Amino acid sequence: MAINTLTQFLFNIFITIAVLVTLYTFNFYYLVLLSRQRRKYQKTELLGTPIVTIQLPIYNEKYVAARLVNAVCAMNYPKDKMCIQVLDDSDDDTYDILENLVNDYQKKGFDISHITRENRKGYKAGALRNAMKSVKGNFVAIFDADFIPPHWFLEKAIPYFSKPEIGLIQCKWGHVNEKYSALTQAQALSLDFHFLIEQKAKSNSHLYMSFNGTAGIWRKGCIEDAGGWHTATLVEDLDLSYRAQMKGWKCLFLADIVVDAELPVQMNAAKRQQFRWAKGSIQCAIKLLGDVVIKKIPFDTKIQAFVQLTRHIVHPLMLIQFLILPILLSAKFNLYVVSILPLLTIVAYLAIGPVVYVMIIRNLWMQSWKSKTLAYLYLIFYSAGMSVNNTVAVFDAFLGKKNEFLRTPKYGIVNKTDDWRDKAYNLPFTKTILLEIFFGVYGVLAIFIAIFSGSPIFAPLIGLQTLGFFYISYLSISHTTFKKNKSQSLHNITKAEKMANTYYKLAMVGIIGFISFGAFMAYYGYQNDVYPLDQSRGILDRIQTTTDTQVIIEYLNTIKTLLPREGNPVWIFPTETTDFGLIQKDLDNMITSVEKISTVPQDSSSFHTGMIDMHERAKNMRLHLLDATPYMYVSFSNIVFSSLWIAAILGIFAVLKRKKERLKSYEMSDEV
């Protein structure tokens, strides 16, 4: 049957995705083993104190720019050996802050310059490439605006360039505001996994590791030999480090040199950062994997390069699996590891997932492993919910959409008492939130399906992802704030700011209202369209276990009231077996047959033959309803309603965007 074929096809996709995700997971465990190797990096003082150019790419970072410049100038390194380049593309107050600060340090004898450009062509990569022509010495250190290099950084890091083949030294990121919130704890743990496992494992072996864009030092000759900074992708750091290693240069990761940085505290900023990393990674895969394949490098290096560059495809794969699972559960497909022991399904999931991660956490952090384990719980929700944002990024990369390097705004947040909500650079939520809420609502329905389909063991797994979608969407909305300077009184707030606040508040109310209405309609639709079929299948199961003719007639009449009188939910390749009009006729015929059987003595062969036939017909009807159930979710009316629902919310975004543009032009004209 076409329906069974479709269900089998979906099951094959589901299993294929499960295998792929498992392979990516086990690859991480392989890197865990490599990271445990003890390798002592050689360093020498023979290099002395060579000239180092320190590049500080900055764009509109008025809250942290001065902190970075002050930290760099406070390094215990001779002034005449440091060439500091402040690469400033800012078009706000940051420019004046840096201009004054650079002038002050120049008067103190520092070799520091304020380098600006007429436009942001190439964004960060463009700024770095533009500054290469004025680099002094053989080494180039790079720090992003939100980093705070320690005063001993150059003294400890430079000696590791003892071997001429070492082209890059990458240092570990620290986190000055890790304890600020659950969001920052989740991000900190994710980054720590990356550095202490992935980067360390690759540095310990011949595998390719990546430059993380900051808190590292390049050998100038390595940059030039690899072709310099390219602007074709959003992750110029990953791109350059791979090209350098394909040229034969070695990259080192130093876990004992930690450079503190500020984690994003606003959800919309964190999503922007994740989007850029995910999209850029796929862009690099498209750009570099061909060269990786044909290059004469070890086979396992090729495999690991493929895994690193493509790992973000896990996000769309997980979403596809999330969409398919409820359909398979509705179709009563056996998804258990061992059919007679469904508990093994959840055990297997825990064994290759959370249990192993907790063991890794305990090994890495020992005494503080309990707090890190709590952060891991936050990370589960964060990663699950972020999969929507990253999936959009992956498709953006595959579709070749125009690159725009959108920076991750920082606010100088260090302590829990610090507040960012009244500062500039706050980002509003985007259209991606619609998808996050959709998957959240879909997850709630999936939990009910898992329970009512007799597979409640899957409900917790679905629930984790569902909570993740709601967690991300909730913070995206609650973290949407709008600038209001503390020094301003309510009377001095501009008309444009008042209008902006009003429009955004009304938009959020409208979106929340539409979402709530959509959730109610989804629940109402399930109760009226899908649940009656579930009830009918349960009654047909009971018919197969009884020989009481009166009970069977009562059951059949109940089913007649539960099922639609006519129609066929399968609008793609419809079959007679799922036609409700024909099913109603079959029920009438079954009632007539049972009435005839009731006139025959129960100990006769005719009665037993009739009951066997009745049980078989009930079994077949149950299978037909099972085939029809998944299509009740995608009925024509549901598709129309969902389309109108999404169109309404998109309409709100469109109006909001138009108002925002008008307000912007209003502010500009007001300033003139």
Active site residues: 89, 237
- Please state, in angstroms and rounded to a whole number, the distance separating the CA atoms of residues 63 and 71: 14
Long-range pairs, 583-588, Cβ under 8 A, ≥24: 583/621, 583/624, 583/625, 584/560, 586/617, 586/621, 587/556, 587/559, 587/560, 587/563, 587/621, 588/560
Sequence-separated (6 or more) residues with CB below 8 Å from residue 112: 69, 73, 84, 85, 86, 102, 105, 106
Within its chain, how far is the Cα of 661 from the centroid? 29
Number of H helices, E strands in the chain: 23, 8
Q: What DSSP assignment string belongs to 589-605?
A: HHHHHHHHHTTS-TTSH
**CB 510, CB 651: distance < 8 Å:** no
**CB 358, CB 376: distance < 8 Å:** yes
What is residue 336's three-state secondary structure?
Answer: coil
**CB 170, CB 212: distance < 8 Å:** yes
The 3-state DSSP composition of the chain as helix, strand, coil percent (nearest 5) reads 65, 10, 25
Strand 82-88 vs strand 111-116: parallel, antiparallel, or unpaired? parallel
- Please state, in angstroms and rounded to a whole number, the distance separating the CA atoms of residues 32 and 420: 37
Q: What DSSP assignment string belongs to 52-107?
A: EEEEEEESS-TTTHHHHHHHHHTSSS-GGGEEEEEEE---SHHHHHHHHHHHHHHH
DSSP single-letter state for residue 109: T
**CB 35, CB 201: distance < 8 Å:** yes
**CB 270, CB 184: distance < 8 Å:** no
Strand 250-261 vs strand 147-148: parallel, antiparallel, or unpaired? antiparallel
